[in-house]
């Protein structure tokens, strides 16, 4: 996740500092500013840097490089009805070199070589702009030529459909809801044929969809995407149609996973989601990714990065990556500060869910997975109160979020569509929570601590209402605790005489380890894991006493003690998130 400034609607890739690494510019907020994220050598982006500019920016494109090596960019400002030539200064600000005004509202820029002379020109257009404006630069100045002013164009694609070696234009004609073919005769443009559509059009792109040498057109329209296949005369008589239950306003076509198939990514702004279709032609293996406030989508591929980037108007840029050996998988960026992950399995594997928390956003994301292992959709459950841990029902759609050492439990239900305050409730426990578990009846079993006293409290679900039972004292002088299951707890206890590691199961107590207590040296204890490969129950715990550390292992039958020669684990925040314990075939024990 990349944090940026909220309120923007567009972004683009540039190289403002000319270091050969793609940077991000964010704009489109109708304010006199823009935002830069410098690209770094490790494929990440630097924090947001907001810059003042004289006009709001609605589109921004590289135009050319000057004789002295400076990059010149072109921008349009819709509400100011102008376009301008700019370059970046040494402190990454924009300096205005030239501007030109219009009598209508420009919105978009395409860069094109109109006459094959290896020099760039720009075409300006938009849904409230009269026709097209051709922009040429001469040093610091811009030369403007307007044409086809009786038309209004939403978007254009460059395609040499008359095959004379110079790109022509295919444009969405808003008034006729058609694709208009505009021939380019050395900067003189002539309107040609049209392809009409019943469904409203939003976007058009030139792509190479099939295996021949001819370019194709991808058209986004209300209810789906249509691919018009190019042939030797660009008749566009053959097509593919992909139907969706929304109006895709932005999309990208490319081979995201480098397997020879053209993949598709498209935005559903109303549903706050992006659909990524992989490995398809006749049909796609679709992945749905929820991203609140999504407004723009770009695909970035260079020597260092291969990713889809998504912009949210709420000030977030999400990066979806590909992996080298990527078959039916997708790497999801799961938030600013993920803390815990869990798997909720269905009986037949047809609707498994992966849940994870994000401490920064204070929500729980739920990824839905089908039998093939593909993610089919994602939803987010926002919590009102801060949560650091959660538990979920194996039978129903209930989730309970809470913060360790706090008394409040916030109850939510996983729903397929987000609704405000959906099925939420609040419960307070008698003492601060250490751990919460949910049984098959959706009743809660909580481990609570008050100073060094350990309590158990059951919260039963009765006729749709939760009722708390009185807390039961389990033991005193407890330093750390872990729930291995309902009515099955492990904990450390320190008294004046001894330090003990105990298991309490079904009200029966079992002493596993015991040490003589040293009053002069505080004992640090932690329980870090309860699962190990091929073992149904394994406990790994750590004790720090008199400047020495020992790892203790218990698998339900045998006990093992491992002395740490150079104590360092406690000082390095050793916990369940940053270690792996393994025993090999030779019964050698390894801690990574």
Closest C-alpha to 14, from 30, 35, 42, 33: 35
CA distance 474 to 537: 22
Whether residue 400 has pLDDT greater than 80:
yes
Calculated CA dihedral for residues 63, 64, 65, 67, nearest 10 degrees: -130
**Residue 274 to residues 86, 265, 378, 380, Cα–Cα distance (Å):** 33, 7, 10, 14
Report the pLDDT value the prediction gives residue 120, as an integer from 0 to 100.
93
pLDDT bin (cut points 50, 70, 90) of residue 420 is very low
Q: What tokens does 396 get?
A: 């129903």
pLDDT at 498 over 70: yes
* Domain CATH for 392: 2.130.10.10
Distance of alpha carbon 580 from alpha carbon 52, whole angstroms: 49
pLDDT confidence tier of residue 530, bands split at 50, 70 and 90:
low
Contact indicator for 313, 292 with CB cutoff of 8 Å: no
CA–CA distance, 322 with 339 (Å, rounded to integer): 23
pLDDT digits (tens, 9 = 90+) for 137-161: 988 899 999 999 999 999 999 999 9
pLDDT digit string, tens, across residues 437-455 = 888 888 899 999 998 999 9
> Is the pLDDT reported for residue 533 higher than 50?
no
Bridge partner list, 462: 465
Answer yes or no: do 487 and 576 share one domain: yes
Min mean pLDDT across 95-99, 251-255, 328-332 is at: 328-332
Rounded to whole angstroms, the Cα distance separating 506 from 541 reads 22
State yes or no: pLDDT of 495 exceeds 80.
yes
Residue 336, pLDDT > 80, answer: no
List all residues 6 or more positions away from 40 whose beta carbon is below 8 Å from its beta carbon. 21, 46
How far is Cα 169 from Cα 171, in angstroms, rounded to an integer?
A: 6
Structure tokens at 170: 């295919």
pLDDT band at 419, cuts 50/70/90?
very low
Q: Answer yes or no: do 485 and 576 share one domain.
A: yes
Q: What is the DSSP string of 502-569?
A: EEEETTEEEEEEEEE--TTSPPEEEEEES-BTTBS--EEEEEEETTEEEEEEE-SS-EEEEEESS--T
Question: How many folded domains does the chain comprise?
Answer: 2
**pLDDT on residue 422:** 36
CA–CA gap between residue 401 and residue 131 (Å, rounded): 56
Quote the pTM value. Answer: 0.57
- Residue 395 falls inside a structural domain: yes
pLDDT at 229: 92
Do residues 502 and 493 make contact, with C-beta atoms less than 8 angstroms apart?
yes
Q: Provide mean pLDDT across the span 107-123.
A: 91
Is the distance from CB of 90 to CB of 84 less than 8 angstroms?
no
In a domain, residue 116? The reply is no
Identify whether residues 522 and 504 lie together within a single domain.
yes
Q: Which residues, at least 6 apart from 403, have a Cβ–Cβ distance to it below 8 Å?
A: 385, 386, 387, 388, 389, 433
**304-335 in b/e burial notation, b at 16+ Cβ within 10 A?**
ebbbbbbbbbebbbbbbebeeebeeebebbbb
SS3 call for 570 = helix
Q: Are both 530 and 409 inside the same structural domain?
A: no
Contact present, 434 and 425 (Cβ < 8 Å): no
* Alpha helices in 432-486, H assignment, sequence order: none
The encoded tokens of residue 88 equal 């970046």
The one-character DSSP state at 47 is P
More confident call, 537 vs 152 = 152
Q: Which residues pair with 442 in a beta bridge?
A: none
Least confident segment among 69-78, 172-181, 513-522: 513-522
User: Are 369 and 403 in the same domain?
Assistant: yes
| Contact between residue 210 and residue 217 where contact means Cβ atoms under 8 Å apart | no
**Considering the domain boundaries, does residue 308 fall inside one?**
no
Q: Determine what percent of the chain is predicted with pLDDT higher than 90.
A: 38
449 and 551 belong to one structural domain: no
Is 570 found in the same domain as 499?
yes
Question: Rounded to an integer, what distance in angstroms lies between the CA atom of residue 466 and that of residue 429?
Answer: 11
* Cα 111 to Cα 167: distance, rounded to the nearest angstrom: 11
Is 569 a domain residue?
A: yes
pLDDT score for 103: 95
Final residue of a structural domain among 441, 474, 507: 474
Residue 577's pLDDT is 59
* pLDDT over 60 at 19, yes or no: yes
- Does pLDDT of 115 surpass 90? no
Query: Taking the mean position of all CA atoms in its chain, how far away is CA 389?
Result: 21
DSSP string, 50-64: EEE-SS--SEEEEEE
- Would you say residue 29 has pLDDT above 80? yes
Strands in 257-385 per DSSP E:
263-268, 273-278, 285-290, 294-301, 306-312, 316-321, 338-344, 352-358, 363-369, 375-382
Q: Are residues 470 and 481 in the same domain?
A: no
Domain coverage including residue 345: 335-474
Average pLDDT of span 410-426: 59
Q: What is the pLDDT of residue 519?
A: 58
- What does the alpha-carbon distance between residue 291 and residue 285 come to, in Å, rounded to a whole number? 20
Predicted confidence (pLDDT) at residue 375 exceeds the cutoff of 70: no
Residue 507, phi-psi category: left (phi > 0), alpha (psi -120 to 50), beta (remainder): left
342 and 464 in a single domain? The answer is yes
- Range 474-502 average pLDDT: 86
Q: Would residue 38 count as lying in a domain?
A: no
Rounded to an integer, what distance in angstroms lies between the CA atom of residue 89 and that of residue 73? 12
Alpha carbons 311 and 13: distance in angstroms, whole number: 13
Residue 84 near residue 96, CB atoms below 8 Å:
yes
Residues 465 and 483 in one domain: no
The token pair at 187 is: 């900067």
pLDDT of 46 strictly over 60 = yes
Query: Of 474, 503, 528, which marks where a domain is finished?
Result: 474
Q: Which pLDDT band, with edges at 50, 70 and 90, does 546 fall under?
A: confident
* 372, 492: one domain: no
Q: Around 329, how many Cα atoms within 13 Å sit in the side-chain half-sphere?
A: 9
Q: pLDDT higher for 79 or 583?
A: 79
Q: Are residues 532 and 547 in the same domain?
A: yes
The Cα–Cα gap between 282 and 104 comes to: 42
Q: What is the mean pLDDT of the chain?
A: 83
Least trusted range by pLDDT, from 91-95, 127-131, 347-351:
347-351
Measured at the CA of 473, the angle between CA 469 and CA 478, to 5 degrees, comes to 135
Instruction: Name residue 226's beta-bridge partners.
Output: 219, 241
Considering only CA atoms, give the Rg of the chain: 31
In a domain, 443, yes or no: yes
Check whether 352 has a pLDDT greater than 90. no
The predicted structure's pLDDT at residue 328:
41
pLDDT band at 581 (very low <50, low <70, confident <90, very high): low
Q: Is 504 inside any structural domain?
A: yes
User: Which of 444, 474, 504 corresponds to the end of one domain?
Assistant: 474
Task: Return the HEC string of 474-505.
Answer: EECCEEEEEEEECCEEEEEEECCCEEEEEEEE
240 occurs within a structural domain: no
Is the pLDDT assigned to residue 331 strictly greater than 80?
no
CA 386 to the chain's CA centroid: 21
CA distance 317 to 477: 48
Q: How sure is the predictor about 278, in pLDDT bands with cuts at 50, 70 and 90?
A: low
286-318 tens-digit pLDDT:
667 778 889 999 988 876 777 888 899 999 888
Q: Residue 532's pLDDT band (boundaries 50, 70, 90)?
A: very low
Measure the CA–CA gap between 9 and 296, rounded to whole angstroms: 7
Other Cβ atoms less than 10 A from the Cβ of 580: the count is 10
Pair 189, 183: CB distance under 8 Å: yes
In sign, the C-alpha dihedral spanning 122, 128, 129, 130 is positive
């Amino acid at each position: 996740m990349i944090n940026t400034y909220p309120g923007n609607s567009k972004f683009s890739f540039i190289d403002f500092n000319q270091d050969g690494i793609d940077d991000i510019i964010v704009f489109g907020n109708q304010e006199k500013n823009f935002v830069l994220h410098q690209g770094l050598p490790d494929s990440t982006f630097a924090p947001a840097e907001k810059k003042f500019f004289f006009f709001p920016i609605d589109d921004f494109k590289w135009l050319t490089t000057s004789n002295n090596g400076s990059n010149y960019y072109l921008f349009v400002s819709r509400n100011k009805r102008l376009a301008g030539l700019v370059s970046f200064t040494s402190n990454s600000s924009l300096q205005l070199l030239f501007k030109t005004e219009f009598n209508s509202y420009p919105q978009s820029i395409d860069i094109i070589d109109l006459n094959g002379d290896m020099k760039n020109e720009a075409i300006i257009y938009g849904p409230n702009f009269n026709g097209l404006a051709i922009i040429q630069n001469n040093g610091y100045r811009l030369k403007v030529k307007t044409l086809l002013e009786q038309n209004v164009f939403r978007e254009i694609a460059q395609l040499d459909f008359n095959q004379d070696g110079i790109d022509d234009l295919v444009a969405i004609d808003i008034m006729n809801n058609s694709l208009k073919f505009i021939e380019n005769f050395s900067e003189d443009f002539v309107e040609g044929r049209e392809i009409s559509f019943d469904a409203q059009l939003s976007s058009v792109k030139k792509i190479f969809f099939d295996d021949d040498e001819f370019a194709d057109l991808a058209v986004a329209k209300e209810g789906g995407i249509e691919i018009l296949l190019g042939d030797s005369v660009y008749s566009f008589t053959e097509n593919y149609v992909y139907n969706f239950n929304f109006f895709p306003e932005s999309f990208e076509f490319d081979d995201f996973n480098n397997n020879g198939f053209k993949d598709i990514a498209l935005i559903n702004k109303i549903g706050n989601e992006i659909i990524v279709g992989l490995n398809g032609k006749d049909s796609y293996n679709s992945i749905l990714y929820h991203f609140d406030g999504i407004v723009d989508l770009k695909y970035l591929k260079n020597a260092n990065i291969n990713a889809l980037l998504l912009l949210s108007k709420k000030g977030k840029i999400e990066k979806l990556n590909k992996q080298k050996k990527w078959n039916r998988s997708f790497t999801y960026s799961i938030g600013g500060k993920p803390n815990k992950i869990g798997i909720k399995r269905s009986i037949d594997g047809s609707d498994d869910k992966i849940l994870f928390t994000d401490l920064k956003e204070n929500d729980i994301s739920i990824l839905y997975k089908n039998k093939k292992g593909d993610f089919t959709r994602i939803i987010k459950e926002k919590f009102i109160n801060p949560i650091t841990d959660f538990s979920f029902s194996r039978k129903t759609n209930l989730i309970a979020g809470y913060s360790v050492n706090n008394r409040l439990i916030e109850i939510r239900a996983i729903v397929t569509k987000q609704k405000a305050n959906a099925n939420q409730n609040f419960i307070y426990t008698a003492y601060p929570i250490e751990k919460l578990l949910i049984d098959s009846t959706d009743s809660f079993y909580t481990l609570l601590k008050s100073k060094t006293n350990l309590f158990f409290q059951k919260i039963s679900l009765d006729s749709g209402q939760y009722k708390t039972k009185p807390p039961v004292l389990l033991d005193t002088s407890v330093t750390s605790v872990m729930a291995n299951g309902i009515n099955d707890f492990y904990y450390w206890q320190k008294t004046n005489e001894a330090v003990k590691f105990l298991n309490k199961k079904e009200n029966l107590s079992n002493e596993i380890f015991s040490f003589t207590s040293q009053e002069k040296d505080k004992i640090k204890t932690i329980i870090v894991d309860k699962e190990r490969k091929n073992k149904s129950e394994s406990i790994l715990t750590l004790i720090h006493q008199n400047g020495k550390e020992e790892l203790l292992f218990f698998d339900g039958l045998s006990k093992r003690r491992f002395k740490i020669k150079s104590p360092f684990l406690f000082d390095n925040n050793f916990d369940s998130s940053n270690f792996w314990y393994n025993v090999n075939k030779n019964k050698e024990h390894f801690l990574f």
